[in-house]
């Protein structure tokens, strides 16, 4: 039945595309910074070579990627030549040190060939992603080796352009995550945040604490279904994901959620709680009152040991510490926490939370990491090197100014626009009534720096779309919830505000949905756009 629905929708989509096939607009997502077109096509032929600048030899992986793209789209096998790139009537990759942005690129297609320039490998990679979108889909009725004459100068608006997956709630296999990376990289997302720990499961092997995966990775059921659910990543699994992501210019951000969302920890090591007892991995959505104790030295030793192993897996400079939805009831009742407050002259538990993260930050500094955190207003203060995520469905303008006033850097992941686990239409998630509907248009209406002047928004470092996993049991559902809404977010993350246009975006969408189908990505059909 599901396959039938996709086939029916695909047929409708192809018909819609044919009606719009005469559009002269190039359908590039995200919209490039500068784009000029002229009449004509460059025709890729069998005798063409791909010349790689000998002064840019480190871009050979990208040259191989471009070679594979041409083979896939045209069935033409071009050879790679490491020679000067001033040849005409061919394909060239060259270094241009005048391109200041490390992810920026220039793409020229004219009667002399295809010429791609960047100062760094990332720029070449993103230029190839743009080039891939220029090849026609089958129903456009154009020769697949004809590429339109154009000139593109492009670079991203934000450095941090992320999506998030939640394998803590429902484990996702390594190959599934790689497939997700493939799709997101093609739309110029450069960070994948993995929510690896929560009340419902611990998903990362920590060799010093084997019970985390032996006990903490398995829950006895989900929402009363009586079916055990488990799974975890070995350290080698995660290293393989990191390596694969790097080849796609995606950096993996791991999250070890603390001090709340820790029932999977306490089920394995209950003495880390304020009041030790027998705990179980959570089986239903919701927020537990149980926190790891902020007054026990062994809790900080536990986190240092965990962070030490995590740092060995993930070589980047960032570690997400969670920090959200941590009710303070247990700390108010706990003699260890109250004694710590007295010793450090802390007059409330909100200040104890700030103290907790200050201690964790000292651990991070040892491993050359900086903290990322979900922003909570009631936390007295955060370490000054923190980057916080705006996420709560409260007034985003007020919260943004609050974050700015605290001198923190910010990632905008405002839930009403970027939480892709939210339903895309009423009834999309049966029996879940509290989530607001987030359709494609609402996703496109997202303004990451809303209400801020250009000279007053530099503390906003990027955006993130989140696919929380309570109701996302597998990668197919993750794709369904992510796309096409992530296409809207990619344009908000990469393109300048002057290049935003909902009407143009809608016209571009058809080609990209066909490309997603061809990659086996089962998106949610935006039927409301085609029935207006």
User: Is residue 318 within 8 Å of 378, Cβ to Cβ?
Assistant: no
Which residue in 179, 168, 169, 163 sits closest to 475, CA to CA? 179
Q: What are the residues whose beta carbons fall under 8 Å from the beta carbon of 411, sequence distance 6 or more?
A: 160, 162, 372, 387, 388, 389, 390, 460, 461, 462, 463, 464
Query: Which ranges in 288-409 belong to alpha helices (H)?
Result: 297-313, 329-333, 335-343, 349-366, 396-405
Distance, CA of 473 to CA of 126 (rounded, Å): 31
Q: Which residue do the tokens 């096939």 mark? A: 21
CA dihedral 324, 327, 331, 333 (to 10 degrees): -170
Distance, CA of 344 to CA of 362 (rounded, Å): 16
Measured over all CA atoms, what is the biggest interatomic distance in the chain, rounded to whole angstroms? 78
Active-site residue, selected from the candidate residues 304, 309, 325, 394: 325
Known catalytic membership, residue 325: yes
Distance, CA of 181 to CA of 444 (rounded, Å): 22
**Torsions phi, psi of 30, nearest 5?**
-75, 155
Q: How many CA atoms lie within 13 A of 342 on its CB side?
A: 7
Q: What are the residues whose beta carbons fall under 8 Å from the beta carbon of 16, sequence distance 6 or more?
A: 510, 530
Under DSSP, the state recorded for 188 is T
User: Is residue 13 within 8 Å of 514, Cβ to Cβ?
Assistant: yes
Q: Could you tell me the CA-to-CA distances from 12 to 5, 373, 525, 531 in Å, in that order?
A: 11, 43, 11, 11
Length of the chain: 532
Show the beta-strand stretches assigned E in 172-241. Answer: 191-195, 197-198, 201-202
* Secondary structure class of 391 (helix, strand, coil): coil
Where residue 462 falls (left for φ over 0; alpha for ψ -120 to 50; beta otherwise) is left
Residues with catalytic function = 325
């Amino acid at each position: 039945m599901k396959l039938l629905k996709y086939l029916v929708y695909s047929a409708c989509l192809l018909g819609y595309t044919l009606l719009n096939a005469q559009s002269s607009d190039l359908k590039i997502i995200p919209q490039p910074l500068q784009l000029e077109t002229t009449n004509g096509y460059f025709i890729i032929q069998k005798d063409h070579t791909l010349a790689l600048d000998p002064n840019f030899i480190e871009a050979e992986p990208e040259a191989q990627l471009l070679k594979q793209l041409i083979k896939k789209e045209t069935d033409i096998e071009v050879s790679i030549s490491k020679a000067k790139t001033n040849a005409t009537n061919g394909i060239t990759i060259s270094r241009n040190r005048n391109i200041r942005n490390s992810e920026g690129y220039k793409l020229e297609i004219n009667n002399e060939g295809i010429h791609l320039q960047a100062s760094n490998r990332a720029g070449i990679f993103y230029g190839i992603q743009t080039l891939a979108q220029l090849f026609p889909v089958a129903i456009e009725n154009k020769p697949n080796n004809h590429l339109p004459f154009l000139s593109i100068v492009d670079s991203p608006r934000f450095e941090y352009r992320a999506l998030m997956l939640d394998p803590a709630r429902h484990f996702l296999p390594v190959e599934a995550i790689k497939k997700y990376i493939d799709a997101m990289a093609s739309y110029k997302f450069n960070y994948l945040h993995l929510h690896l720990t929560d009340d419902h499961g611990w998903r990362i092997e920590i060799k010093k604490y084997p019970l985390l995966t032996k006990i903490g990775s398995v829950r006895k059921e989900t929402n009363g279904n009586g079916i055990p659910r488990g799974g975890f990543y070995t350290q080698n699994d995660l290293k393989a994901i990191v390596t694969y992501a790097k080849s796609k210019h995606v950096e993996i951000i791991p999250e070890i959620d603390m001090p709340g969302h820790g029932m999977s920890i306490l089920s394995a090591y209950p003495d880390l709680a304020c009041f030790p007892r027998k705990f179980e991995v959570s089986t239903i959505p919701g927020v537990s009152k149980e926190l790891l104790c902020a007054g026990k030295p062994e809790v900080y030793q536990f986190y240092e040991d965990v962070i030490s192993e995590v740092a060995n897996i993930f070589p980047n400079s960032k570690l997400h510490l969670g920090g959200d939805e941590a009710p303070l009831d247990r700390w108010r009742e706990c003699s260890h926490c109250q004694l710590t407050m007295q010793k450090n002259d802390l007059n409330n538990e909100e200040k104890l939370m700030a103290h907790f993260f200050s201690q964790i930050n000292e651990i991070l500094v040892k491993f050359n990491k900086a903290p990322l955190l979900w922003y909570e207003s009631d936390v007295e203060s955060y370490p000054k090197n923190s980057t916080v995520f705006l996420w709560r469905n409260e007034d985003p303008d007020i919260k943004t100014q609050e974050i700015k006033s605290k001198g923190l850097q910010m990632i905008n992941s405002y839930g009403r626009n970027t939480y892709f686990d939210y339903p895309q239409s009423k009834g999309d998630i049966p029996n879940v009534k509290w989530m607001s509907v987030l359709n494609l248009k609402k996703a496109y209406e997202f303004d990451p720096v809303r209400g801020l002047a250009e000279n007053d928004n530099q503390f906003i470092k990027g955006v993130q779309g989140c696919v929380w996993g309570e109701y996302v049991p597998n990668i197919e559902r993750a794709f369904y919830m992510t796309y096409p809404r992530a296409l809207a977010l990619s344009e908000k993350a990469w393109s300048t505000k002057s290049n935003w246009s909902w009407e143009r975006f809608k016209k571009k969408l058809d080609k990209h949905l066909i490309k997603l189908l061809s990659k086996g990505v089962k998106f949610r059909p935006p039927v409301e756009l085609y029935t207006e």
